[in-house]
């Protein structure tokens, strides 16, 4: 196994075909075996249309490999915006894995940059997250508005802001 997107691909292919979660590969990806992080797995069609994206802000698994496996399965089967991925689709999909750095507070919109930083908005116990460098998100205001929408927050609500960087791995 050479990289995290390959792990995500093999995981989804195994899960869709067998209905079981694969084991962590025994070889390769050693730099991720002892580290924990929040992980987002993004799945797109050959036409670059979003097909699933699920992740964790903070780690919930023992290491980045386990986190990638769990979130790949969730992105393929539990993203409420899409039907679960079927075996006929598998060959046409592309995978991206974003390893999140720990979030840090942002006191104003001036401390955000939609290309460099992802954003987390929170209010009333609700949180919404948007990854950095997304197609169609060109301004800080658009980024925050989309994150608020994902959290179910009204645009006029007062929110707390956090920003984070990612290490993005693509096929």
> Tokens 């929170």 sit at which residue?
122
Is residue 75 within 8 A of residue 53, CB to CB? The reply is yes
Domains and CATH numbers, the chain: 4-100 (3.30.700.20), 104-165 (3.30.1490.150)
Q: For the segment 71-80, what is each residue's pLDDT rounded down to a tens digit?
A: 999 999 999 9
Q: Average pLDDT for residues 75-96, to the nearest whole number?
A: 97
Is residue 105 within 8 A of residue 162, CB to CB? The reply is yes
Reported pTM: 0.94
Confidence of residue 27 (pLDDT cuts 50, 70, 90): confident
């Amino acid at each position: 196994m050479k990289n995290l997107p390959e792990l995500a691909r093999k995981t989804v292919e195994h899960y869709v075909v067998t209905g079981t979660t694969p084991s962590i590969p025994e070889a390769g990806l050693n730099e991720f075996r002892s580290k924990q992080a929040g992980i987002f797995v993004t799945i797109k069609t050959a036409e670059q249309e979003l097909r699933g994206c699920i992740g964790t802000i903070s780690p919930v698994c023992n290491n980045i490999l386990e986190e990638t496996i769990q979130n790949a399965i969730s992105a393929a089967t539990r993203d409420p915006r899409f039907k679960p991925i079927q075996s006929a689709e598998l060959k046409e999909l592309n995978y991206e894995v974003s390893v999140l750095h720990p979030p840090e507070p942002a006191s104003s919109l001036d401390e955000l940059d939609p290309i460099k930083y992802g954003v987390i908005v929170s209010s009333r116990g609700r949180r919404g997250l948007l990854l950095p460098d997304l197609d169609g998100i060109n301004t800080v205001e658009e980024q925050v508005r989309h994150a608020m929408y994902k959290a179910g927050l009204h645009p006029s609500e007062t929110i707390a802001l956090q920003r984070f960087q990612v290490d993005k791995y693509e096929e």
